[in-house]
Structure 1
Amino acid sequence: MAVIEESEMQTDVNELIESLTELLEDGDRNVRMNIVRRLDEISGVKTVPPLIKLLGDPYENIRQRAVEALVRIGEPTIGPLIRVLGDVGVRQVAARALGEIGEPAIEPLIEALDGDDREEYVKTVACALGWIGGERVIEPLMKVLGDTNWEVQNDAAEAFIDIGEPAVEPLINVLENGDAYMFQGAAWALEMIGDERAVPSLIKALEDEDEGVRYAAASALGGTIDDRAINPLIKALEDEDEGVRQVAARALGGTIDERAIEHLIKALGDECDAVHWNATCALGGSGDELAIEHLIKALGVGEGGCVGRLPPYSARFLVNQQLSL
């Protein structure tokens, strides 16, 4: 008798889930919120498909409640969530759910990386792994970091930023032993993490034969504001590649260091307007009185001068010195 009652109860639950699923198209968000709450109360594998559908709801509160319900169900949701990571309507929220499920999702996500090379799919898997974090996800993310598609690489770098300190040494190893594609992503990730252990390797990379590597190194050093980087960045102001010179000038703008002033003033005469512009920005924020005269002269350098495009803080600096533009 008890078995029959249990069977009848299960039938009732299944019918209820089907009825709730049919109501998901209701235009009233209050109705859909009540549905997601009821599905959360019922829980279980049968509720996974409608809950995943609710991940694409236009209202954040409903999406978040669906994520919470899926996380509470746990491991049975991992496979279905991974299968929708290529669905533009739900992939980011599905990745968030996998990130909150955590460690049990790592191996299935790694397998997913090996089984599908679609750009958006790989990017979303990388995001999920980054949210989970830990040393186990570093190796598979390194493969994504080496992707020649910069958007894919960028998502891998963001994943390493989410991981933080455990990723620092592996990323430094990439700076020293990886290819140019991987270097750029690793350099940006290390800049965002902000660990000074990366500085020596980034300085060394300013001498690399690849201009993309030199550019990425100079940009990353600009984010460190480390005293060891000043002289190497000054030297980079004379790099043969104008992109490297430009980013070196911008990087030096992040510090108020007297060693850089003379060289930034020299950079005001660079034939590349972008270099001249970034040197102007750097000097404008330096607060150095020696920069005033040279900044005024710089207003006429480059195509059309830069009267109309002087950075606000450069303009303020000159105005504060009671100089008329």
Structure 2
Amino acid sequence: MKRKIFFTVIFALFLMTSQVKAIESQSNENVSSEAINQLIQELGNSNTTIKSNAAKTLVDIGDPVVDPLISALNDENYDVRENAALVLGKIGNETAIDPMISALSEQEWDESQEEEEFGRALGTALGSFGEPAVEPLSEFLAGKEYSSSAGHAMAALELIGEPAVPVFVDLLYTELRVESAYHLRMIGEPAVDYLIPLLDDEDPNVQGRAAEALVGTSNPDVVEPLTKLLDDDNEYVRNMAQHALESMENQYPQESFLYGREREFFVEDEKREWLSSLEPIVKGRSEYIMPYFYPDGPVIGYGLYYKGYLTVDLLIGSEVNDSYMAEIYSVIDEEALKNGVEEVPVLFSYTSMPVEDVEKVEIPDVLLGLTTDEGASRILLPAGFMAVILIILVIGLLLSRKK
């Protein structure tokens, strides 16, 4: 009898699960506008979990929510605007590209944090559309000088990568040449073939920026044209050509190595909370990693990157194998577990010393663990920099006492 009841219950659960799946499948096609609008408003909820769940559901529903999300780009709640942009990027329906670029251009960029975060979300989302977004972004940037909105559009193009290279090359002839050279350098090797002809351009500004964009390349085809520029009449062109050639002589591994588990974020508050959970791991003197720092070890930088992981900078030329990186990671992972973070993501990469004769110095805790949205906190700082900071602090104390 008990066995019969058991199988009856199991069969009933199976039927219920099948019905739920059928309802979910049907709801994605016939979900009501009221339900969609409710989900969109939840993107502005003060509870991050509710926001994230709403975003995931909207992504799962897909195309039926695109038009309401486009309307939400003008919502009064800035959280709704920001997260609507990110959801549109994850859905990937190309009809959202032009409205998102319009939202970028219509913004009154008052440099407030909220407006800047919305612009960054638009840039991130537009970058996820790939090649279909290249031409509209190019048209948006035509004839513009640098602004926050132009910066976010260019960041989107960098995310797109190789298909956007011709746009950046064209922008080298405009007021946006400085930023374009930077983004071309970030794209890297796919841009090299486009940049080599520009080293012979009539405009020295274009020549110099093209040489600057080639800093870090290992392509031997650039050696001859760069060498010719070492005797150029323009000092800037000569300096950039020399810098690019020197970077080839001091070539170091371009690979980065990610340990742990990278997280996916559906709303920005998720990422912000995640970054906050990582901050205690890198704050203070981080004694657990100091034995690996130069000159005793290969590490010259350790910090928190805004994309959601810790970074370990390894000195160029260091003999670091997989087992050694795994050893460093295990030390960081152990510290992360103490702070409740499992499988903490850590990115290892190679770089050079920021200045010559960098020394390890005692750094006040208040100056350690500082983070920004566009950079990382660092443990190792030049001694000269610290001297200036300490002088400023002393002068400030003396002035405060006089008051």
In structure 1, stretches of 5+ residues that fail to align are 1-8, 228-253, 256-279, 283-307, 310-325
Matches within 5 A, 1:208-247: 208-225=232-249
| Paired residue secondary structure (1:194) | coil
Match of 1:109 among 129, 133, 137: 137
| Paired residue secondary structure (1:141) | helix
Query: Runs (4+) of structure 1 moved beyond 4 Å?
Result: 9-12, 50-58, 115-118
Q: Judging changes above 3 Å, is the alpha-carbon distance between structure 1 residues 192 and 47 closer, same or farther for their aligned structure 2 residues? A: farther
The aligned residue for residue 125 of structure 2 is 97
The aligned residue for residue 119 of structure 1 is 147
How far did residue 52 of structure 1 move? 5.2
How far did residue 204 of structure 1 move? 1.5
Conservation of the 8 A alpha-carbon contact between 1:98 and 1:105: yes
| Cα RMSD (Å) | 3.8
The aligned residue for residue 129 of structure 1 is 157
Conservation of the 8 A alpha-carbon contact between 1:39 and 1:47: no
Conservation of the 8 A alpha-carbon contact between 1:36 and 1:51: no
| TM-score, normalised via structure 2 length | 0.46
| Paired residue secondary structure (1:26) | coil
How far did residue 75 of structure 1 move? 0.6
Corresponding letter in the other structure for 1:111 = E
Q: Judging changes above 3 Å, is the alpha-carbon distance between structure 1 residues 48 and 174 closer, same or farther for their aligned structure 2 residues? A: same
The aligned residue for residue 168 of structure 2 is 141
How far did residue 53 of structure 1 move? 7.7
1:38 aligns with 2:62: no
The aligned residue for residue 159 of structure 1 is 183
Distance 2:193 2:159 in 1: 19
| Paired residue secondary structure (2:216) | helix
Deviation string, structure 1 residues 212-264 (Cα, Å, up to 9, x no partner): 1122122222211079xxxxxxxxxxxxxxxxxxxxxxxxxx99xxxxxxxxx
| TM-score, normalised via structure 1 length | 0.55
Matches within 5 A, 1:180-259: 180-225=204-249
Q: Judging changes above 3 Å, is the alpha-carbon distance between structure 1 residues 23 and 165 closer, same or farther for their aligned structure 2 residues? A: closer
Conservation of the 8 A alpha-carbon contact between 1:131 and 1:162: no
How far did residue 171 of structure 1 move? 0.8
Conservation of the 8 A alpha-carbon contact between 1:144 and 1:156: yes
| Paired residue secondary structure (2:117) | coil
Conservation of the 8 A alpha-carbon contact between 1:95 and 1:127: yes
How far did residue 17 of structure 1 move? 2.6
Which structure ranks higher in relative contact order (CA pairs < 8 Å, sequence separation ≥ 6)?
2
Larger strand percent: 2
Deviation string, structure 1 residues 284-307 (Cα, Å, up to 9, x no partner): xxxxxxxxxxxxxxxxxxxxxxxx
How far did residue 109 of structure 1 move? 1.8
1:15 aligns with 2:34: yes
Percent identity, aligned pairs only?
A: 27
In structure 2, stretches of 5+ residues that fail to align are 1-27, 108-115, 252-315, 318-354, 358-382, 385-403
The aligned residue for residue 76 of structure 1 is 95
